[in-house]
Each structure stands twice: as C-alpha cells, then as structure tokens.
Amino acid sequence: FMTKIKKLLETVCHNCGKILVDESNPAFADAIRRRDPKKRFDLVWRLCKPKMICETTMALDDDAPSDKTKEPKHDHGGCGNIQPEVRREGLRLTGTWKAQKGDEENEGQQPEKKPITPQMALNIFRHISTEDIKRMGLSNDYARPEWMIITVLPVPPPPVRPSISVDGGNGPRGEDDLTYKLGDIIRANGNVRRCETEGSPAHVVNEFEQLLQFHVATYM
C-alpha cells in the first residue's frame, strides 16, 4: 500500500486531515461526481498534489489576486498549515516542508526535511472525516485509510505453516518459512520495545523500526 499511502498523504492536510481542494475548484466538483472510485481518487489526487498549503478563510482573502481564489464559492475551513512535498525511498516516506512565497518570516530558510513515520501517517489518516473518505472514492466500510497501516499482525495457525521433514519423514523436522519470518518479526519488535523502554538514542530506535518494517514487508 506504499504508493496509495503516499498519494493519500499528498491529498489531505497533515494537520487537520481535510482534502486540500474543495468545490470552489470546478475540476474538483466534477471529479467527485465520477462514479468509478478509482478514477475519482486519481482525479482528486492530481488536483491536490500541487497544493502546498491548507487554505483558511483568511488565506483566501489574502490571496485575492490569485486566479484560483478570485471567486471562492466555498469556505474551505482549513488550518493554514504548510504541506510537505512527499517522496518515497524504498520503504520510507520523507516530507520536505518549504517556505511559501511571500512568507517574510521564513523566507530564505532551508527547507525542512524529515521522515514521515507510520505513526505520523496513521494519525493523519485518523483525522480524515467520513465525508472526505467518500469524496476521495474510498469506502468507510471496506477501505478506510488507516487500515492500510498494520498495527496488529494476524498470526496464521500451525496447520497453515506446518513443519517440514528434511529427509522424507525420517530425519529432523524444520520449520516453515512463515514461522521463521514470524520469529524475525517478534525479535525485531522486541528490540524496538526494549530501545524505547531504555531511552535509546533516536537514530538507534529508527534503525530497529526500519528493520521491523523490512521483516513485515518481506513476510507480506
């Protein structure tokens, strides 16, 4: 789900969870009328991706000369936060926050780049309203965004991953590949928990988190 998660993070505000575009944009109003959920999501994502700020009512008034906000038909009601440029690097997602043009306080500062952790993405997705989920073409019953991030990993019962015999039944028995991988996941998860309990440095915890994510990805 990494590609879909990246697109969702480019569609909604990272602070309040609102879709970055509303019905004041005719293209968005046309997109949410599409009956095909996949096409609707793709159209909404393409409209939201260039937006680098979650607009408020005040922002609409201040940006009056802009073509996009000359005649606002809806009060977007956003939080005004700057949105990051999301990039994917393997199993990692990173966000780059750039200062907006005309922002005298932050103008000239270097862009802030930091990783978007699974916990951050989970918190963002939990803020998305049920109405916005429907607008994006997702389902509140079968495809809520936060379900794309694993918080509880189901373990298949032994009959699904039976032990195997090396020499046709007479020799020692070995465990199934799934069992070995589940063991790797349990050990990696234990290391993350131990580091957090002991107050280990952030870079050490991050390394163990990346290892855990790798094991879960290869297991899936």
For residue 194, what pLDDT is reported?
A: 92
For residue 70, what pLDDT is reported?
A: 45
48 exposure class (CB count in 10 Å sphere: 0-12, 13-18, 19+)? buried
Query: Which tens digits make up the pLDDT trace of 50-96?
Result: 988 888 765 444 444 444 444 445 566 777 888 888 898 888 888 88
Query: Which tens digits make up the pLDDT trace of 111-162?
Result: 888 888 888 999 999 999 899 999 899 988 888 999 988 888 888 888 888 8
Q: Is the pLDDT at 212 greater than 80, yes or no? A: yes
For residue 122, what pLDDT is reported?
A: 92
| Conformational region of residue 71, where left means phi above 0, alpha means psi within -120 to 50, and beta covers everything else | beta
Q: Give the CA distances from residue 53 to residues 39, 56, 59, 64, 220, in Å, rounded to whole numbers and listed in that order.
A: 24, 9, 9, 15, 35
For residue 125, what pLDDT is reported?
A: 92
By the 8 A CB rule, do 93 and 86 touch? yes
For residue 68, what pLDDT is reported?
A: 42
What's the full length of the chain, in residues?
220
The pLDDT mean for the chain works out to 82
Per mean pLDDT, which of 163-172, 175-184, 186-195 is the most reliable? Answer: 186-195
Provide the whole-model pTM.
0.75
Domain definitions of the chain by residue range: 2-148, 158-219
For residue 170, what pLDDT is reported?
A: 66
As given in the structure block, the two tokens for residue 145 are 């965004």
Please state which CATH class domain 158-219 belongs to.
few secondary structures
Q: Give the CA distances from residue 103 to residues 4, 73, 99, in Å, rounded to whole numbers and listed in that order.
A: 32, 25, 7
